Chains A and B, each alone.
Chain A
Amino acid sequence: MTKRQANVFVWIGSLLVLLVSIVHLSPLYILFTNSFKTREELYNNVLSLPSKFSFQYYQVAMERMNFWTSLLNSIVITVVSTILIIVLSAMTAWVLARNESRPWAKWIFMIFIATMLIPFQTIMMPLIQFFGNVQEVTGIPFLNTRGGLIFMYVGFGTAMSVFLYHGFIKSIPFSLEEAAYLDGASKWTVFWRVIFPMLKPITNTVVILNVIWIWNDYLLPSLVLADEHLRTIPLSTFSFFGQFTIQWNLAMAGLLLTIIPVIVFYAFAQRNIIRGVAEGAVK
């Protein structure tokens, strides 16, 4: 085989694999094309393109899903939870890593790791019961509020995040901090000025993993939030489906709306996302 022939061969193979991966995404095409069709058109041929692009189903779906409200709720809950998880777990992991030889630090770290094995379903019921009781006694509204949900996300997110930060911090030499201490800086300053900026690569990982998880989570918010105006995107999708299962064209428009934010996020941060997911898994 000449070099030129080999080249042609590689190209044909490349295009074939690309074709297969496009077929892999065909459900998204089905979602897209049927979101514009009328009921009759949909039942005539699910694979064809729509005869005309009208956005009427999108409008209806947006109204019934309360789309903008749930998008805003999802954004607020995901962003605030993630920021809190990062700040709290980076600070904690730093102190735990720098005191590694002390029993208290060892114990706290071990408990964090061990609890990563607990599936959410094992604690969901007692969690809600417990916070119901706490709310009754203290009057602090944990249930049916965004703040309460964020508090719980911080609790569930810290174990893995502390673990990731801990591993990374151990590779940073102590001498850098020592120099800052000698200059008279406080621990607070050292952390924010010296340590935290150096954590950037692992912070990327922690952000990506937490955002993917919190954004898509259905079960926890479904147990905590009851009011319609508090619903996140997965919650409004669920209730929307409960009511309109039969109207598939409307449902398709609604589903497509919910994945647009994900596609936009992926388009802008693809490299960071893939790197973050890879590092999060390998650590």
Chain B
Amino acid sequence: MKNKNDKYWNLLFVAPTVLIFIFVVLVPFIIGIYYSFFSWDGIQSNPKIFVGLRNFINVFSDGRFLNSALKTFIFTVLGVITINVLGLVVALLVTSKLKTKNLVRTFYFMPYLIGGLILGYIWKFIFSDGFAIIGKVTGLDKFFFNWLLDPNFALIAMVFVFTWQMAGYVMIIYISGIQAIPGDMIEAAEVDGANRWQVFWKVKLPLIMPAVTISLFMTLSNCFKIFDVNLSLTGGGPAHATEMFAMNIYNEIFSNSNFGYGQAKAVIFFLVVAVFTLIQVSITKKREVTM
């Protein structure tokens, strides 16, 4: 009797969540894979024409898409490096003897809470009109000009803004990694005559490898999937030069009305994200030092 009741309770506790989840995530995911084999303009009454793998083949001759993939790759590499270096440096400072460490932590973390869209708009002003005005006033117009009008500088601006947003986030992860190191281990190294540099490379860094794994994993996937900052800061411009992967998919579907083709890109997007994250987790898991 009790067992039977238990079954109903289990169902009551699990079913609503699973049903909503199936409706919102699983069904659209499966429909999405189905759509990617069709040519369709998104209008219900218009026919969906089965094209097999054509959409996936066309991707390789789509210049705008290939450029977007390349720019996303460059952006991700640069972003992962700058975010993690800055985050780690600040985390090391904040866990040192600084008297102002709480304030510093508070200030660095703050940008993470401001949404990517709003934050992109703030920086849009600084990099466009703000920089132009400063350049005019100071005469340093080799550096202070409208960065968002230059394809290369616009990409750097995106790296800069995303670093500004995400460094505080990985700082938090690194701080918990550093704080987990037993104090006597560092003391022992210092007694043995290790200088700060050696303590960092030989003691701290190997022991915070779990935090490094997490941070790299998070920043890699966040950089690769960037959309909001892209939309508000550069809008993909100038002339699609900074159109990242996610925005290219969005534009292909909703601006060009190529629902099938755009969805094929979306499926590729998923595959890349999945493969990258799985490889990275398996590599860094091996290198972690167990305490």
A46 in contact with B130 given A88-B16, A95-B13, A191-B13 (CB within 8 Å): yes
Cα of A28 to Cα of B165 in the assembled complex, Å: 13
Main secondary structure of the interface of A (DSSP, over half): helix
Chain A residue contacts of B100, Cβ below 8 A: 14-15, 17-18
Interface residue from B32, B114, B254 paired with A259 (Cβ < 8 Å): B114
Cα of A273 to Cα of B250 in the assembled complex, Å: 32
Cα of A45 to Cα of B13 in the assembled complex, Å: 60
Residues of chain B in range 165-202 having any CB-CB distance to chain A below 8 Å: 169, 172-173, 175-176
Q: Write the B99-113 contact mask toward A (1 if CB under 8 angstroms, else 0).
A: 111011111111111
Residues of chain B in range 93-134 having any CB-CB distance to chain A below 8 Å: 93, 97-101, 103-118, 121-123, 125-126, 129-130, 133-134
Chain A residue contacts of B254, Cβ below 8 A: 125
Main secondary structure of the interface of B (DSSP, over half): helix
Q: Is B158 an interface residue (CB 8 A)?
A: no
B109 touches A216 (CB 8 A): no
Q: Is B50 an interface residue (CB 8 A)?
A: no
A273 in contact with B246 given A17-B98, A241-B232 (CB within 8 Å): no
B28 touches A255 (CB 8 A): no
B24 touches A46 (CB 8 A): no
Chain B residue contacts of A156, Cβ below 8 A: 24-25
Q: Is A92 an interface residue (CB 8 A)?
A: yes
A234 in contact with B24 given A43-B133, A92-B18 (CB within 8 Å): no
Cα of A22 to Cα of B227 in the assembled complex, Å: 27
How near does chain B come to A138, taking the closest CB pair, in angstroms?
Answer: 12
A115 touches B25 (CB 8 A): yes
A219 in contact with B9 given A31-B122, A266-B110 (CB within 8 Å): no
Chain A residue contacts of B62, Cβ below 8 A: none
A125 in contact with B262 given A10-B97, A282-B173 (CB within 8 Å): yes
How near does chain B come to A256, taking the closest CB pair, in angstroms?
Answer: 9
| 6 chain-A/chain-B pairs, Cβ below 8 angstroms | A111-B26, A121-B227, A124-B253, A218-B228, A277-B112, A282-B211
Given contacts A125-B42, A218-B228, 13 further A-B contacts (CB under 8 A): A14-B98, A24-B107, A27-B122, A27-B164, A46-B134, A88-B20, A92-B17, A95-B9, A118-B29, A122-B269, A124-B253, A125-B263, A126-B31
Interface residues of A (CB under 8 A from B): 10-11, 13-15, 17-18, 21-22, 24-25, 27-28, 30-31, 34, 43, 45-47, 88-89, 91-92, 94-96, 99, 108, 111-112, 115, 117-127, 129-130, 134, 151-152, 154-156, 158-159, 162, 186-188, 191, 212, 215-219, 234, 237-238, 241, 248, 251-252, 255, 258-259, 262-263, 265-266, 270, 273-274, 277-278, 281-282
Would you list the 5 A-B pairs with minimal beta carbon distance, nearest first? A155-B24, A216-B115, A126-B31, A187-B9, A127-B28
